[in-house]
């Protein structure tokens, strides 16, 4: 069967299954969190299916790169000390910006845009971004663009991203996200953020369309990969939890580099509270890859991912796979399952 059709079928089937799960969670005993998560996954599946239809789904092999390097404790507020201390506030706040740079969760994805989109590889990820800088990077053929959440001032959302075109393949842009969205558009992207193009980016996109003499193309289209690799690295000293990936509904080829996201995400979603310590053991490996399809990644996106390295990988990822019929299970079938059977999996539905 054609790979595009396979992707399409997989996403539609997954959407169907997720809808069934959602139906089972309509009772009052299920949390809104669960329902929200299922809804987002359903939307994600259909987004991908539609994109496959729109784009012809030139399938590429995405890479997911996840790393947890530091503790996440300090990126929630840019500088609470500014209010409480006697330090020069302005100076302190500025310093915290750079401190935040190191401690914010970070992950990178490589997005391959369809030729002719005119978007110059700047993918829509469901959020509104404002460009605040551009810099020539040493050794890079293309400048790096710096974007921050449009709601940074209005809602204090600290999410930023960097967009840089790949030297090797200019059709690929590497998008590095830092920090998670705390603005409303993130908490409810399905209703706030357009799944296609944000206002800012659409304007830019349409302008480019004019430039490209291609006014008919009004949908942002990206190729979707049928699989991806997850890389974990730099896991030496942290408790690792999967990040709250705002997995772009239209991304296909992705390399995620996440730092500290697991713990923060889990805590935020009240998931880790029910996890045994075995799920957050220290790590030692430098780099590990394993194949995961984009849909699988979506399954542990949205703040319910799993972070790993070598042995930890097995401990963490295996848990949900053994409890649910999730595609994640298929994705990680090669991973040995070894986790606490008494583990309170209250929130395992998140991994479904």
Under DSSP, is residue 289 helix (H, G, I), strand (E, B) or coil? strand
Considering only residues 66 to 125 of the shown chain, the ones binding DNA according to CB under 7 A are 91, 94-95, 97-102
Cβ of residue 178: shortest distance to DNA, in angstroms? 6
Q: Is 211 in the site for DNA (CB under 7 A)?
A: no
Task: Tell me how far apart the alpha carbons of residues 173 and 125 are, in angstroms, rounded to a whole number.
Answer: 13
Contact residue for DNA among 5, 53, 115, 137 (CB under 7 A): 137
Strands of 39-149 (E only): list them.
63-67, 106-112, 129-135, 144-149
Looking at beta carbons only, is 48 or 181 nearer to DNA? 181
Question: What is the C-alpha separation between 49 and 13, in angstroms, rounded?
Answer: 10
Q: Is 214 in the site for DNA (CB under 7 A)?
A: no
**Residue of the chain from 3, 35, 81, 131 that contacts DNA (CB under 7 A):** 131
* 28: Cα separation from own chain's centroid: 29
Told to check if 341 binds DNA by CB under 7 A, we report no
Residues in region 305-324 near DNA by CB under 7 A: none
Least Å distance, CB 68 to DNA, is: 16
Q: Which of 139, 211, 216, 342 binds DNA (CB under 7 A)?
A: 139
Calpha distance 352→349 (Å, rounded): 5
Rounded CA gap, 99 and 125, in Å?
26
- Does position 199 bind DNA by CB under 7 A? yes
Separation of alpha carbons 236 and 239, rounded Å: 9
278 part of the interface to DNA, by CB under 7 A: no
178 binds DNA (CB under 7 A): yes
Stretch that binds DNA, among 22-30, 201-209, 272-280, 330-338 (CB under 7 A): 201-209
Distances (CA, A) of 283 to 67, 130, 237, 308: 10, 36, 7, 7
- Tell me the β-bridge partners of 268: none
Q: Is 133 in the site for DNA (CB under 7 A)?
A: yes
Number of C-alpha atoms within 13 angstroms, CB side, residue 329?
Answer: 12
Which CB atom, from 18 or from 158, has the smaller least distance to DNA? Answer: 158
Number of DSSP helices (H) and strands (E) in the chain, helices first? 12, 8
Count the Cβ atoms, other than its own, within 10 Å of residue 237. Answer: 13
CB of 203 to DNA, least distance (A): 5
Report residue 43: phi and psi, to 5°.
-60, -40
Decide if residue 167 touches DNA (CB under 7 A). no
Choose the binding region for DNA from 19-27, 141-149, 239-247, 294-302 (rule: CB under 7 A). 141-149
Shortest distance, CB of residue 102 to DNA, whole angstroms?
Answer: 6
Q: Which residues bind DNA (CB under 7 A)?
A: 91, 94-95, 97-102, 128-139, 144-146, 148, 150, 160, 162, 178, 199-201, 203-204, 206-207
């Amino acid at each position: 069967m054609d790979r595009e059709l396979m992707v399409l079928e997989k996403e539609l089937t997954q959407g169907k299954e997720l809808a069934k799960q959602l139906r089972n969670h309509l009772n009052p005993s299920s949390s809104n969190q669960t329902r929200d998560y299922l809804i987002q996954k359903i939307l994600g599946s259909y987004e991908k299916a539609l994109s496959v239809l729109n784009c012809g789904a030139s399938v590429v092999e995405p890479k997911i790169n996840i790393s947890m390097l530091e503790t996440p404790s300090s990126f929630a507020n840019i500088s609470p000390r500014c209010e409480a201390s006697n330090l020069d506030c302005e100076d302190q706040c500025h310093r915290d910006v750079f401190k935040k740079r190191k401690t914010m969760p970070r992950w990178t994805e490589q997005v391959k845009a369809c030729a002719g989109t005119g978007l110059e590889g700047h993918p829509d990820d469901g959020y509104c971004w404002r460009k605040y800088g551009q810099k020539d990077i040493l050794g890079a053929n293309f400048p790096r663009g710096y974007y921050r959440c449009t709601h940074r001032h209005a809602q204090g959302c600290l999410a930023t991203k960097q967009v840089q075109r790949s030297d090797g393949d200019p059709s690929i842009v590497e998008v590095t996200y830092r920090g998670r969205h705390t603005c409303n558009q993130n908490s409810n992207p399905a209703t706030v953020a357009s799944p296609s193009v944000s206002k800012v980016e659409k304007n830019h996109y349409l302008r480019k369309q004019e430039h490209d003499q291609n006014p008919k193309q009004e949908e942002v289209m990206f190729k979707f990969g049928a699989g991806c690799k997850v890389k974990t690295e730099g896991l030496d000293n942290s408790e690792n939890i999967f990040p709250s990936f705002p997995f772009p509904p239209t991304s296909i080829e992705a390399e995620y580099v996440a730092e500290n996201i697991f713990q923060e995400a889990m805590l935020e979603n009240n998931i880790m509270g029910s996890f045994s310590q075995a799920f957050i053991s220290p790590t030692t490996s430098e780099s590990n890859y394993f194949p995961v399809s984009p849909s699988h990644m979506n399954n542990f996106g949205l703040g319910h991912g799993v972070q790993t390295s070598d042995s930890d990988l097995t401990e963490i990822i295996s848990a949900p796979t053994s409890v649910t019929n999730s595609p994640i299970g298929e994705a990680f079938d090669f991973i040995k399952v070894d986790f606490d059977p008494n583990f309170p999996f209250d929130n395992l539905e998140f991994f479904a």
